[in-house]
Structure 1
Amino acid sequence: MQLLPSSLKHHHSSSYRLAKNLFLILSSVFIVYLLVSMFVIFTSKGLLIHSPEPELTGHLTSLDHVVFAIISSENSWLKCTDYAKLWWRPQQMKGCVFLESIPPPDSLDLHNDTDSLLPPICISADTSRFPYSNQRGLQSALRAAHAVSEIMAMDRSDVRWFVFGDEDTVFFPDNLVKTLSKYDHRIWYYVGSGSENFEQNREFGFGMAFGGAGFAISSSLARVLAKKIDSCLERYPRLYGGDARVYSCIMELGIGMTHEPGFHQFDVRGDAFGLLAAHPVSPVVSIHNLKWIDPIFPNKTTAESLEHLFKAARVDPERLLQQTICYDRWFSWTISVSWGYAVQVFPGHLFLPDATRVQETFKHWKKGNHLADSYVLNTRYLHPDPCGRSTVFFFDQVHSDEDGIRSTYRKLSKDNCSYDPASPRHLEEIRVYSRKLRRSVRQLMAPRRQCCDILPSSNNKVIDVAVRGCKEEELIYMHM
């Protein structure tokens, strides 16, 4: 074999290294180009999984980014205007209430004017051309579904979310906006909640966002849905309500409901205390079916009760109804604070999972059905003996200043129960101290229940409770 001269060997080795380095550089450039191209393609098609909205847009969703579509009729709307005046903010909110016809001239406060405290009125389009064959429902349900395309037809270039509800849906706007800020409106989202009643979900769909509780549709999904809704109305004449038609059409687009427990359908009757006093650890967004439940505060009408609740909601909306549990070691009491609504003192220690279960203070939505008494909630039966139940103190007043927030809760009814000095029934007032709850969007993605402490008191008829954030590894537990 002939050997190469050393100079040629060196030249050959240098050329090989140069070619190898050039190949590596070109390969790296190609890989980077390929990755960048895939990123652009996937992003443009909406296929990339996005991080939470604030990191993308630089600012959170506000009321300016939300449009409301309230579905009603002339007669129903006249009965529910007191509810709407509580939560509607004329200078901040966009949207309208859809009616089938213009109200009579003598109902001037319902007409659009600059001083009105109500949403503007929109007259629904004629939907008589669409088939409707459900014998239990009304054809007006078609208007509710068709409102998706009607509200989209308005100039809404800066809108991120479209929110739909009934005339008796009471929204808590700050909490609604905070909840929607968890999601990127550029992705298709259908946000809401089902019914508390098992039979209602079984009949209409466990994946349907109930219209009474209200639901939100991201602007990107609404644009597509508005184009398809007419064809869906043609295909689903047998369905009962407008929310079922919207749900079916969204399903055809391949999207499921994103569940948010702050939307409340309230398919119950009677005393809803158990539901309100054991609210999930998430902001309360809406309450519905107020005409079927008792006034939520004793000795008040429904309208007066809501106005009273909004006194607390205006001071600290995110903390409203948030349940905090703490334990009194001296008397072995369990104290449950449902901020802005009620405080319960149980005569004995309850494990936290028991203290947070919903007490069945309410009645069934329907009678004569074996599933009527089934709920999709973690409930517990109300003690048959009133003297064996918790002592309840209802929200009385709230005061806020630079030092924090003080809310007071008073016992509003007397009982004939006999009790010893260690019983909570001798108490007359609970004072709760806190600071405004401001959870970040990231914290709301995995919310944590807050903790509380029972403060020393020289008055044996009053208890002072301080609500605070839990320490890093703190447990909320029953002291043995």
Structure 2
Amino acid sequence: MCKEERGNATRKVQLRSTDRRSDLRGVLFPHGVLLLSLPFLLNAGRFARAMTTPHPFTAGGLTLRLVKRLAFLSCSFWIAYLAIVVLSTHPCGLSPRCLSSLHLAHRPILPESPPTETRHLVFGIASSASSWPRRRDYVRAWWRPGETRGFVWLDRPLNSSFPQTDASLPTVRVSEDTSRFPYTYRKGLRSAIRVARIVAETVRLGLPDVRWFVFGDDDTVFFVDNLVRVLRKYDHEMWFYVGESSENVDQNRVNSFDMGFGGGGFAISHRLAAALARVFDSCLVRYAHLYGSDARVFACLAELGVGLTHERGFHQVDFRGDAFGMLAAHPLAPLVTLHHLDILAPVFPKLSRLHALEHLFEAVKADSGRILQQTICYENSKAWTVSISWGYSVQIYNSIQLVPDLLPLLRTFMPWRRGQKNASSVPYMFNTRELPRNPCNRPAIFFFESVLAGETGIESNYSRSSGVGCYSNKFSPWDLKYVRVLSTELDLDTKQLQAPRRQCCDIISLTNEVMNIKIRKCEDEEVVFLES
């Protein structure tokens, strides 16, 4: 610290001390006068009578009584003076909050609870005896035996020919009978009541050390580490209902823009879940007219006065076809869930749905916090634009694309309703952009191929897709065969998740076949644009 800074610091301390002494005099002076006057006021009557009433003894007796009075006043003065000295030297100074809390000092300080971990979560997965055999592998892709806790809830026992237990999957349970509950939605499914009651049935099992109850479908894929990261942002002792609405505006309009859709998954803090379980059955009777299970959970939580806490990493995925547009431009939030994998095309071309999901989890296991996180940079000499969706794809444009123009999702998917063929006319909860018809205006796409994690960092490799390209005599992105991306593990703390910032990247080298890129933390006030 320089001399000027030390001088300023000293003057600040002196000013604080002066202010404290001034406040001390201002507050204690009137109290001190009152304290000094109190003994005299209490004995004023007796003192006056002693001076005016004839005394049977000599004047010396009166003098003796006066001396006693004066001695008492003197002692009172010195007691008050000592009190002023003690208060003026106490570290609390004049802080009423500090002084009023002194009586609590003897109480033991309770340690803060440790951060939320996977073991603090309990999953309730909605399935059926008919769908579980064909969808259980989706759950197996993300389930962690011995670490994750939870149950798969079926409508009836499995066929005896099907394995009843599997150590690599959650325990299977059969839901209670729900025939006593009314259901009046025309052309709906009564199973919505059973699926809704999974919330209450899971809570009533009474598992120990639970902070969050998490619910989803058998085709909901959870990215557990990211789920834990997101839930750490919230106090599990408070009432929280965490999830996200649908991507489809029409679906939200019919249900609610503030409803956590069940396919995308939602989490309920344990205290709220306990309160919900106590009133859930009586609440269900009032909502026989609703269609789905998640609408019933939302309605009963609304009666408890709790609204949805939106988290953009939960994905209901209410569209069909190729999800590339969403996966290549994920919002600035950890990927928590994906849904409707049976309806979507495989996330990687030329692979089955299950193998494509398992391939994605190879990247997830290396760096779950960075999966699908978008990073944008430029190749200056070629005037190329590079957009990385880590662990999934790299897009290279043979032109300059501004950062805001790359954030909307390419419309590679189709509307949820089969009759709506014009995807551009369907309103979504995010911005979209047209997929150019001219191949030369489209990016060259490189899909995730492999990953290698070591002590010095993580290397992920991407190979060019064999789709339609744009070739010319001039060297272009379609002439490249591979892209190699170097990075370090992205493990954001709670404060960083509350104020997220997209990371930056640099083109390290470029050959006729390979581009090498390094992802890094952006510098303070660094902006991403093409330097001229």
What's the TM-score once normalised by structure 2's chain length? 0.80
Partner SS, residue 456 of structure 1 = strand
Per-residue deviation, residues 67-102 of structure 1 (Å, max 9, x unmatched):
000011111112201111101112111111000111
Q: Please, which of 453, 456, 459 is the counterpart of residue 509 of structure 2?
A: 456
Kept after mapping to 1: 8 A contact 2:439/2:469: no
Partner SS, residue 251 of structure 2 = helix
1:99 pairs with 2:154: yes
Partner SS, residue 483 of structure 2 = strand
Give, as a single letter, the amino acid of the residue that structure 1 aligns with 2:266.
Answer: F
Q: Please, which of 227, 233, 241 is the counterpart of residue 278 of structure 2?
A: 227
Q: Please, which of 323, 326, 338 is the counterpart of residue 275 of structure 1?
A: 326
1:415 pairs with 2:468: yes
Cα offset for 1:398?
0.8
Kept after mapping to 2: 8 A contact 1:366/1:372: no
**1:184 maps to what in 2?**
235
**2:32 maps to what in 1?**
none
Whole-angstrom CA distance in 1 between matches of 2:239 and 2:487: 37
> Where in structure 1 are there 5+ consecutive unaligned residues?
1-6, 39-54
Whole-angstrom CA distance in 2 between matches of 1:363 and 1:189: 33
Per-residue deviation, residues 172-196 of structure 1 (Å, max 9, x unmatched):
1111111111111001110111111
Whole-angstrom CA distance in 1 between matches of 2:489 and 2:517: 15
Whole-angstrom CA distance in 2 between matches of 1:426 and 1:139: 56
Whole-angstrom CA distance in 2 between matches of 1:415 and 1:225: 53
Whole-angstrom CA distance in 2 between matches of 1:266 and 1:106: 34
Question: Which range moves more in the overlay, 56-65 or 399-408?
Answer: 56-65
Partner SS, residue 104 of structure 1 = coil
**1:253 maps to what in 2?**
304
Number of aligned pairs?
A: 456
Whole-angstrom CA distance in 2 between matches of 1:364 and 1:414: 23
Cα gap change, 1:230 to 1:444, in 2 (>3 Å): same
**1:398 maps to what in 2?**
451
Per-residue deviation, residues 390-409 of structure 1 (Å, max 9, x unmatched):
11000011111222111111
**2:528 maps to what in 1?**
476
Q: Please, which of 120, 135, 142 is the counterpart of residue 87 of structure 1?
A: 142
Partner SS, residue 237 of structure 2 = coil
Whole-angstrom CA distance in 1 between matches of 2:113 and 2:205: 27
Kept after mapping to 2: 8 A contact 1:325/1:352: yes
User: Which is richer in helix?
Assistant: 2
Give, as a single letter, the amino acid of the residue that structure 1 aligns with 2:371.
Answer: L
Whole-angstrom CA distance in 1 between matches of 2:97 and 2:313: 46
**1:337 maps to what in 2?**
388
**1:49 maps to what in 2?**
none
Kept after mapping to 1: 8 A contact 2:444/2:469: no
Kept after mapping to 2: 8 A contact 1:166/1:214: yes
Cα gap change, 1:31 to 1:307, in 2 (>3 Å): closer
Cα gap change, 1:338 to 1:29, in 2 (>3 Å): closer
Whole-angstrom CA distance in 2 between matches of 1:103 and 1:372: 43
Per-residue deviation, residues 9-55 of structure 1 (Å, max 9, x unmatched):
99979957966997997xx89866877999xxxxxxxxxxxxxxxx9
**2:267 maps to what in 1?**
216
**2:412 maps to what in 1?**
361
Q: Please, which of 342, 358, 383 is the counterpart of residue 436 of structure 2?
A: 383
Give the RMSD, CA atoms, in angstroms. 3.0
Kept after mapping to 2: 8 A contact 1:149/1:229: yes
Percent identity for Structure 1 against Structure 2 = 45
Give, as a single letter, the amino acid of the residue that structure 1 aligns with 2:129.
Answer: E
Give, as a single letter, the amino acid of the residue that structure 1 aligns with 2:239.
Answer: W
Give, as a single letter, the amino acid of the residue that structure 1 aligns with 2:477.
Answer: P
Runs of 4+ residues deviating >4 angstroms:
7-25, 28-38, 367-372
Per-residue deviation, residues 178-232 of structure 1 (Å, max 9, x unmatched):
1111111001110111111111111110000100000000001111011011121
1:75 pairs with 2:126: no
Kept after mapping to 2: 8 A contact 1:419/1:425: no
1:374 pairs with 2:436: no
**2:497 maps to what in 1?**
444
**1:139 maps to what in 2?**
190
Question: Which range moves more in the overlay, 367-376 or 416-425?
Answer: 367-376
Kept after mapping to 1: 8 A contact 2:260/2:266: yes
Cα offset for 1:436?
1.3
**2:22 maps to what in 1?**
none
Alignment of 1:23-172 (within 5 A): 57-108=112-163, 111-113=164-166, 116-172=167-223
What's the TM-score once normalised by structure 1's chain length? 0.88
Cα offset for 1:314?
0.8
Cα gap change, 1:356 to 1:123, in 2 (>3 Å): same
Whole-angstrom CA distance in 2 between matches of 1:220 and 1:34: 32
Kept after mapping to 2: 8 A contact 1:433/1:466: yes
Give, as a single letter, the amino acid of the residue that structure 1 aligns with 2:488.
Answer: R
Whole-angstrom CA distance in 1 between matches of 2:251 and 2:530: 36
Give, as a single letter, the amino acid of the residue that structure 2 aligns with 1:474.
Answer: E
Cα gap change, 1:20 to 1:133, in 2 (>3 Å): farther
Cα gap change, 1:422 to 1:10, in 2 (>3 Å): farther
Cα offset for 1:384?
2.2
Cα gap change, 1:12 to 1:225, in 2 (>3 Å): same
Give, as a single letter, the amino acid of the residue that structure 2 aligns with 1:473.
Answer: E
Cα gap change, 1:386 to 1:35, in 2 (>3 Å): farther
